Amino acid sequence: MRIVVVEDEYRVRSGVVKLIGKIKPEYEVVAEAENGLAGVDTILENKPDLVIVDIKMPLMDGIEMLSKLKEKGIKHKTIILSGYSDFEFAQKAIKLGVSEYLLKPVTANDLEQTLLNIEKEILMEKMLEANQTQVLSSIENIFQNIVMGGSDKVEEMYRFLSDRYGLGQNTEFAAVSVYYGTDDRDHINKLKIILADDLTGFGSGSFTIFDLALHQEIIVLIYNSENLQAYERFFQNRAIRDILGQDFKGLAFGWIQFTGPENIKNSINTIRKELKWSIVLGEDILISYPKTRQINTKLIHYPIELESASKACVFSNDPGRLNRLFEEFASWWRKELYHPAGVIEAFVRFASSIINVIKETDYDLYEAINQKETLQKLIDSITWNELHSALFSIIEKITAGSNREIQAVSLIVKKAVSLVNEFYKDGITLDQTAARLNITPEYLGSLFNREMGINFSTYIKEFRIKKAKGLLIGKDLKTYEISRQVGYSDPKYFCRVFKETTGLTPGEYQKAYK
């Protein structure tokens, strides 16, 4: 996606450009401009997919710039940047076809989500453009193109629906959103066949089924029925049961009623956001809007003791017990009815705390987990299966990491590492280890450094500090007790080494991570 940033404040402009560069390599800032006048020329020259523009600028403001570009027939997506006091200007910008509105200061999360939304819109419009000749060829295509948006034939589509099918502003509709969360086309086609078979012959209404692959959902539109509530009961009591009976997993079903084809797109967007209720209600429940607004949920009570125990397990390198604690954490959220947003937030908090501890203990494993990607999967989860799977991907990586072979090639160094694991509490030294292996300390030190990429003394120190971190987080011990348990007879010396290694005293570390 090609982007032009038009902003008069250099600090803001450069900050936005840097953020874009970190979000996705496919997002390319092709040019910048410091006011609307320069922005017009820059946009005409570069023909970007997206323009990010401030409203208030010298020489020519953002509103005037957008007006000039519209007069010239230049098509692009637009994000406007503004402060709270510019709301009137923002309203004018929205009338000019602005896609998104961001308040200053712009945060990385807000910008990332906005860019992803724009990217989806562009993809939808390209798909629509490729199918433009078939827009009015069938009622399925018409509905699909209305939902996808971006067509300049939308008014023509509304007229066609009214003239050809009698579907006007007063027509009652219901939309069923079936989230399937997979790219398996056989799976999706089978799902559509079951839906069509179940609906055929039921009730007096008409229905249309189409796929929105970008959102991984099937939409069923029901209309020309005098009893839409009967269809709602039919989906809850029969259709969902039939689908789940075919071994489909990880689905979510949503229901919404509305009036007029012009409300199809907004209504489907609304029920799509409500599908996350499936996380707490279960995949066999039809998520019905606005009934979801009446659900009473419990206040979130976060199990901090499970988090602390799990962090201690990371330090003690016990993936089996960690897996059990993860299962216990997941089960915690099935005992009461909580709001799905609160459950997702709790999962993100739990995962973040575990990943941050992993960063402290095993940086290679931390990079393999990919914190940003894992947390985003949790945030984007629509079903319990997705939420559970995203969390337990951490356990899978930890288990794989614990099964890694020691980097050492020689049997001598492997035995040296094993002796450290066994006798670190006793203050084992290079000389003592070499004596147990019947070799000279010089030879062991040289071989160890060459194969492990770290000298023996530093390895022991870091190993002991790692064990100390686990005790600080997982046990209620005094500093002198921890010092002795990790092989330091002098607590003051232990505290000095700990701070040199971590930048924190043992007490500060405990407060930061426990």
* pLDDT tens-place string over residues 98-131: 667 777 788 888 888 889 888 887 776 666 555 5
What's the CA gap between 142 and 221, in Å, rounded?
12
* 225 has pLDDT over 60: yes
DSSP label at residue 151: -
- Per DSSP, the three-state class of 296 is coil
- Look over the chain and give the mean of its residue pLDDT values, rounded to a whole number: 88
Instruction: Retrieve residue 401's tokens.
Output: 């990491």
Show the beta-strand stretches assigned E in 375-508: none
Element (H, E) at 188: helix 185-199
* 377 has pLDDT over 60: yes
- Which band of pLDDT confidence, cut at 50, 70 and 90, is reported for residue 240? very high
* 85 has pLDDT over 50: no
What's the CA gap between 454 and 458, in Å, rounded?
7
Tell me the fold of 411-513.
Answer: Arc Repressor Mutant, subunit A (1.10.10)
What's the CA gap between 280 and 270, in Å, rounded?
18
Percent of residues, the chain, with pLDDT higher than 90? 54
Pick the CATH number of 2-127 from 3.40.449.10, 3.40.50.300, 3.30.300.30, 3.40.50.2300: 3.40.50.2300
Distance from first CA to last CA of the chain, Å, rounded?
A: 43
Whether residue 391 contacts residue 343, with contact meaning beta carbons closer than 8 Å, is answered with no
What's the CA gap between 198 and 202, in Å, rounded?
7
Q: Return the CATH class of domain 134-291.
A: alpha beta
Q: Tell me the per-residue pLDDT of 330-345, one tens digit each, with 9 for 90 and over.
A: 999 999 999 999 999 9
Segment among 147-156, 254-263, 293-302, 481-490 with least mean pLDDT: 147-156
Q: Tell me the per-residue pLDDT of 273-328, one tens digit each, with 9 for 90 and over.
A: 999 999 999 999 999 999 999 999 999 999 999 998 898 888 777 888 999 999 99
Q: To which residue do tokens 């799990």 refer?
A: 310
- Per DSSP, the three-state class of 223 is strand
Segment among 208-212, 402-406, 409-413 with least mean pLDDT: 402-406
Whether residue 96 contacts residue 88, with contact meaning beta carbons closer than 8 Å, is answered with no
What is the sign of the dihedral through the CA atoms of 465, 467, 470 and 472? negative
Whether residue 277 contacts residue 292, with contact meaning beta carbons closer than 8 Å, is answered with yes
- Which band of pLDDT confidence, cut at 50, 70 and 90, is reported for residue 404? low
Q: Tell me the per-residue pLDDT of 24-68, one tens digit each, with 9 for 90 and over.
A: 888 999 999 999 899 999 999 999 999 998 888 888 888 889 888
Rounded to 10 degrees, the C-alpha dihedral 435/438/439/445 comes to -40
Structure pTM?
0.68
Instruction: Retrieve residue 128's tokens.
Output: 């629509």
Q: Tell me the per-residue pLDDT of 174-188, one tens digit each, with 9 for 90 and over.
A: 999 999 998 888 889
pLDDT mean over 8-30:
89
Chain Cα centroid distance, residue 147: 24
Segment among 155-164, 395-404, 440-449, 455-464 with least mean pLDDT: 395-404
pLDDT mean over 239-265:
94
- In 3D space, the residue among 362, 377, 300 whose CA is nearest the CA of residue 333 turns out to be 300
What's the CA gap between 210 and 212, in Å, rounded?
7
pLDDT of residue 406: 53
Whether residue 252 contacts residue 284, with contact meaning beta carbons closer than 8 Å, is answered with no
Q: Tell me the per-residue pLDDT of 443-468, one tens digit each, with 9 for 90 and over.
A: 999 999 998 889 999 999 999 998 89
C-alpha distances (whole Å) from 206 to each of 173, 222, 228, 259, 501 are 10, 6, 11, 15, 70
- Which band of pLDDT confidence, cut at 50, 70 and 90, is reported for residue 95? low
Element (H, E) at 104: none
C-beta neighbour count of 227 within 10 angstroms: 11
